[in-house]
Amino acid sequence: MDSPNNSLGGSQRLVALAHQLRLYKPPPTPLDDDDDDDDGPEEPTTGESAGKVVSRVGVVESAAPISGDPERFRPKRAAVLICLFEGDAGDLRVILTKRSSTLSTHSGEIALPGGKAEEGDKDDGETAIREAKEEIGLDPSLVNVVTLLEPFLSKHFLRVVPVIGILNEKESFKPAPNPAEVETVFDAPLEMFIKDENRRGEERDWMGNKYILHFFDYETENKKFLIWGLTAGILIRAASVVYQRPPPFLEQNPIFKVPRVLNKDTVLP
C-alpha cells in the first residue's frame, strides 16, 4: 500500500503492528463494483456537513445492503485518518479533534481528521492525509499508512473509508489546528473502544430495523469529551482489528436498507 512515508520508526511493537495491519483485508461491500463508475446520480449533500465527516450515525457498509436498484445509490467518497502512536505508558493512542464551536453545523463534536475526496487525490489514503494536514497540521512524512478498513455510511449516506496510519515520531508532531475547523486536538487510548467502561448505548430505528448508537465518555487534562456516532463506530471497528478481538458489547449489526431515492432531507435518525 502506498504511503507518504514507507519507513517505520518507533518501537518494535509499532513495527509488528504495521506488519499485522498490512495483512488485513476488509470484507467486500455492496458498492465495491461501483468505485470506478462515475455515471449515475450521487448522494446529495448540503452545507458544511457535505464537506466534513461528522455525522451522528456510523453504519458499517456491509450491514447496509442496497434495496431496489443499486443504480440509484452511489454515495460520494470521504476518508478519515485513524492515526495511531505509542503513548508514554506504552499504550496505543489515536488522534482526535473537537470541531470548532463557531461552525454552523456539528459544532463542538468529536471527529477523526478527514473529509471528502478531491479530484487530485489518488486514493483514500491521500485524502485522509491531506485532510489531516489541513485540519491539524500533521506532516504527511510522519505518517505511515498501513491499511484501510471497511467503508462506513454516514448519517447523510456519505461513504467514509477509515485509513489507519502509524505516527512514526510522535515528538515531531506539533498540533496546529486550523481555527476555522478545529478547536482542540487530543488523543485517547484506542483500547477503550472495545471496553464497556465509560460507554453507553441508545437503541434507534431505521426503516423498521433496530441499531445501537454508541457513546464514550473520556476525560483528559481536566477536559471532558463525548465520542459518539460515526466516530465511535469507526473506532470500535478499528480497535477490534488492531487488538484482534471483538468488543464485549453488541457493536451494531443492523439490517439496514437504503431508500430507493435519496434527497437532501434523507438522513439516518
Mean pLDDT within 218-231: 95
Give the rounded percent of residues in the chain with a pLDDT score beyond 90.
59
Handedness of CA 266, 264, 75, 247 (dihedral sign): negative
More confident residue, 102 or 212: 212
Nearest Cα to 81, choosing from 42, 120, 121, 43? 121
For residue 190, which amino acid is it?
L
Mean pLDDT within 186-190: 98
**pLDDT band, residue 42 (cuts 50/70/90):** very low
SS (H, E, C) the chain: CCCCCCCCCCCHHHHHHHHHHHCCCCCCCCCHHHCCCCCCCCCCCCCHHHCCCCCCCCEEHHHCCECCCHHHCCCCEEEEEEEEEECCCCCEEEEEEEECCCCCCCCCCEECCEEECCCCCCCHHHHHHHHHHHHHCCCHHHEEEEEECCCEECCCCCEEEEEEEEECCHHHCCCCCCCCCEEEEEEEEHHHHHCCCCEEEEEEEECCEEEEEEEEEEEECCEEEEEEHHHHHHHHHHHHHHHCCCCCCCCCCCCCCECCCCCCCCCCC
pLDDT over 80 (residue 51): no
pLDDT over 70 (residue 108): yes
What's the whole-number average pLDDT of the chain? Answer: 81
Decide yes or no: CATH 3.90.79.10 for domain 73-243: yes
pTM over 0.85: no
CA distance 216 to 114: 20
pLDDT given for residue 113 in this prediction: 96
More confident residue, 63 or 227: 227
pLDDT given for residue 231 in this prediction: 95
